[in-house]
Amino acid sequence: MRRPIIAGNWKMNNTKAQTYALLNDLVPLVADAEAEVVICVPYTSIWAAGEAIKGTNIHLGAENVHWAEKGAFTGEISADMLLEQGVEYVIIGHSERRQYFGETDETVNKRVLTALAKGLKPIICVGETLEEREGGKVEEVLVRQTTEALKGVDKDQLDKIVIAYEPVWAIGTGKTATAQDANDTIAIIRNTIAKLYCPKCAEEKVRIQYGGSMNPKNAKELMAMPQIDGGLIGGASLKAVDFSQVVKYNG
Ligand code: PGA
């Protein structure tokens, strides 16, 4: 059984004070959640978030990690720095990183390998743009992104990995993939993992989330689909009540 995992992606939102306020509200609202709950927060909020969720069922995540141990990489952050703050999960290859900050399949792979080697659990984002979708390239793009991201990853590391399928056209736009469409596209990703490793590994070890305008209204329907193991939630993770309703998607 793949345990559902709902992760918030705060992006570049929330100061330290706002972090405490939001988590103060969120902690009791999700205390009895069945799904695994993760919040991925900006670097400057990691310490505060860690304090606010100490002893709760909420897991701490960051939004990126560099592949090098340390050194001259201005503006980047290392795995050791994150681990020292109690970080467990890390988003890698978000489409905003790919689109605005030059992330490629290759840099995504390097970050994934370092994260795993250090003991961080990567949430690897894949997804097609509108242009790629309209050009009939969904399968090609997802097979490539998945295969490249997982290069060099061992079979026994697969249960540390979460994949987030986020169609770029659905992020922050209010447009969601239909549940059926998200399910079928996630099946392509799972099938790719089955071919790269083994069918059982893909079926039992890897959790695949949907992301893109997931909210309290559509979460239940999306989560009812057999291939969808969770969600990566942007906008709706910034409000405690909304996020808690996604986390407890069955009401
Ligand atoms: P959204 O963002 O929920 O605001 O669409 C999701 C994401 O980018 O991870």
Q: What is the arithmetic mean of pLDDT over 104-122?
A: 98
Q: Which residues pair with 60 in a beta bridge?
A: 39
Q: Looking up tokens 């490793």, which residue turns up?
A: 197
Catalytic residues: 94, 166
Distance (Å) from CA 178 to ligand 1 centroid:
15
Provide the strand spans (E) within 129-249: 162-165, 207-211, 230-233
Using the mean position of ligand 1's atoms as its centre, give its distance from the Cα of residue 236 in Å: 8
For a ligand 1 pocket test, name from 123, 213, 222, 246 the mutation site with the most ligand atoms within 8 angstroms of its C-beta: 213
pLDDT at 83: 98
Q: Which two tokens stand for residue 246?
A: 């996604």
Ligand 1 center from residue 198 Cα (angstroms): 30
pLDDT of residue 165: 98
What is residue 67's three-state secondary structure?
coil
CA of 72 to the centre of ligand 1 (A): 31
Residue nearest to atom 7 of ligand 1 (CA): 234
Q: Which tokens belong to 146?
A: 């998945």
Give the number of the atom of ligand 1 that is nearest the alpha carbon of residue 171: 5
When pLDDT is averaged across residues 17-39 and rounded to a whole number, the result is 98
Q: What is the pLDDT of residues 138-196, one digit of tens each?
A: 999 999 999 999 999 999 999 999 999 999 999 999 888 899 999 999 999 999 999 99
Amino acid at 248: K
d(CA 177, CA 9): 18
Q: Note the pLDDT of residue 43.
A: 98
Q: Which amino acid is at 175?
A: K
Cβ neighbours of residue 92 closer than 8 Å, sequence gap 6 or more = 64, 65, 108, 111, 112, 115, 122, 123, 124, 125, 149
Report the alpha-carbon distance of residue 5 to residue 162 in Å, rounded: 9
The 10s digit of each residue's pLDDT in 181-240 is 999 999 999 999 999 999 999 999 999 999 999 999 999 999 999 999 999 999 999 999
User: Coil, strand, or helix at residue 95?
Assistant: helix
CA distance 237 to 214: 10
The residues, any chain, with a CB within 8 Å of residue 161's CB and separated by 6 or more, are 112, 116, 121, 122, 124, 150, 153, 205, 206, 207
Nearest to 219 by CA among 33, 53, 45: 33
Q: Which of 96, 173, 233, 237 most suits a substitution to test ligand 1, by most atoms within 8 Å of the C-beta?
A: 233
Q: Taking the mean position of all CA atoms in its chain, how far away is CA 215?
A: 15
DSSP state for residue 74 in the 8-state scheme = T
Could you tell me the pTM of the whole model? Answer: 0.98
Using CB distances shorter than 6 Å, the residues near ligand 1 are 9, 166, 171-172, 211-214, 232-236
pLDDT score at 209: 98
